Amino acid sequence: RPSMSPPTSVLPDELLEEIFLRLPPDEAEHLVRASLASKFWLGLLSGARFRGRYREFHGAPPMLAFLYSCHWNSRPKMEDNIPHFVPTTKFRPCIPDDDWGDWEYDAWDCRHGRVLLGDAGYKPMTLVVWDPMTGCRRELDAPVLVDNSYGAAVLCAASGCDHSTCHAGPFQVVFIALNKTDAHHCVAQAWVTLPVTCDHSNPILLSTYGSHFDKWSKSCSRLHLVSDVYIHEAPPIFVQDTLHFKLCDCFDDRLVGILKYDLSTNCLSLIDMPLVESIIVDDVILMAMEDDNLGFAHVGGLVLNLWSRHMGSDGVASWTQCTVINITDILPIQNPKKRLRLIGSMEGTDIIFVTTDLGIYKINLKSLQWK
């Protein structure tokens, strides 16, 4: 009969910690199994010292999964309308099996352990903040009816947070709306919710009226834009307390600028681009880079160009080109005539995602390693 006694540690505590420290973060099941082996190992792995060292050793957390939204003309027939969640590891989200209503939710944003879902086809526009770890949901209505375009983001609202385990803390939702004026001009406005905390004692909140909150701030001052522009549906990029959205032309889907919202000043503004020529929006992604600066990645043909926006000593920000990469030097390309497409990045890292004729690739722009 096998012994049920807990394992006896024959290694020094420091050596055990060094071994556990090297378990890969995208294979978290090894840490879970180790924590179940004994109370001693559980205490070591759950302690603040080890968790702090683990985050410092591995840097930004891995991508556990991705959420996707289908365009209206390519949406597959779904038996339900729960979020379209595709795991890239063994992690599975906590999706409550209660009714999500008649809304058709799309993934609008994902940050700091939370997902922002929305249904733009319903009036008033319905938004849901969802915690995949616990299943907790909070719903709210958009602060204004939108007749042109919109953008939204969910952010941690805890002061001084390092965003390592803040999914149970307070959060805020930012909503940007573009609307036409009587003179057929376009104006942008922004609203922010007051900090909201999820009630983790009751994870299935959407079925109760208590899950609903509508505590929007007054809108910021209007920013007048050229007519016939829209906010690209890609999630915004969060850098140094500011959100950045791609602003596009309605007629030819060309990138015309970057819309910036500063939470600290409650102000909207426009940022110029490092390229002066007209470019297709799908050839560009914005990035929150590892050095906490705004990045601008552009692919032309099979060449990837990367710029970083830095603040100068004179207080004026400017773009600096920092990387030029020939994609054929690092990725397998079968048909060089097929257009590449940049589809996203991981905030706080130098990792981007690109589609080629052979599929989707993740590229580390520093090490040039890919998967």
pLDDT in tens, 301-337: 899 999 999 988 888 889 999 889 999 999 888 888 8
Which of 272, 288, 320 is the last residue in one of the domains? Answer: 272
Q: Are residues 348 and 242 in the same domain?
A: no
Per-residue model confidence (pLDDT) at position 10: 64
* Residue 303 domain flag: yes
* Residue 67 domain flag: no
Cis peptide bond upstream of 124, omega within 30:
yes
Q: Are residues 234 and 284 in the same domain?
A: no
Mean of the per-residue pLDDT values of the chain: 82
Alpha carbons 245 and 281: distance in angstroms, whole number: 12
Per-residue model confidence (pLDDT) at position 284: 93
Per-residue pLDDT averaged across 260-270, rounded? 95
- Residue numbers of the domain that contains 246: 93-201+211-272
Whether 152 and 118 have beta carbons less than 8 Å apart is answered as: yes
Q: Are residues 252 and 320 in the same domain?
A: no
Q: Are residues 240 and 355 in the same domain?
A: no
Q: Are residues 106 and 161 in the same domain?
A: yes
* Residue 64 domain flag: no
Whether 259 and 231 have beta carbons less than 8 Å apart is answered as: yes
Q: Are residues 246 and 159 in the same domain?
A: yes
Residue 154 — very low, low, confident or very high, per pLDDT cuts 50/70/90? very high
End-to-end CA distance of the chain: 45
Q: Are residues 266 and 195 in the same domain?
A: yes
The neighbour count for residue 119, using CB atoms within 10 Å, is 18
Residue 196 — very low, low, confident or very high, per pLDDT cuts 50/70/90? confident
pLDDT above 70 for 98:
no
Per-residue model confidence (pLDDT) at position 206: 41
More confident of the two residues 134 and 114 = 114
User: Exposure string (b/e) for 77-107, b if CB count within 10 Å is 16 or more?
Assistant: eeeeeebbbeeeeebebeebeeebeebbbbb
* Residue 99 domain flag: yes
* Residue 70 domain flag: no
* Residue 78 domain flag: no
Q: Are residues 164 and 44 in the same domain?
A: no
Alpha carbons 360 and 371: distance in angstroms, whole number: 9
pLDDT above 80 for 207:
no
Whether 285 and 313 have beta carbons less than 8 Å apart is answered as: no
Per-residue pLDDT averaged across 227-243, rounded? 91
Q: Are residues 305 and 351 in the same domain?
A: yes
* Residue 85 domain flag: no
- Please list the residues that pair with 298 across neighbouring strands: 284, 305
Residue 133 — very low, low, confident or very high, per pLDDT cuts 50/70/90? confident
Which of 272, 288, 323 is the last residue in one of the domains? Answer: 272
Q: What angle do CA 166, 117, 213 make, to 5 degrees?
A: 70
Number of domains in the chain: 3
Which tokens is 43 given? 């205490």
Q: Are residues 261 and 329 in the same domain?
A: no
Per-residue pLDDT averaged across 156-174, rounded? 80
Residue 201 — very low, low, confident or very high, per pLDDT cuts 50/70/90? very low
Q: Are residues 181 and 258 in the same domain?
A: yes
Kindly report, residue by residue over 337-357, the tens digit of the pLDDT: 888 889 888 887 888 999 888
Per-residue pLDDT averaged across 172-179, rounded? 94
Q: Are residues 102 and 216 in the same domain?
A: yes
* Residue 7 domain flag: no
Which of 255, 272, 289 is the last residue in one of the domains? Answer: 272
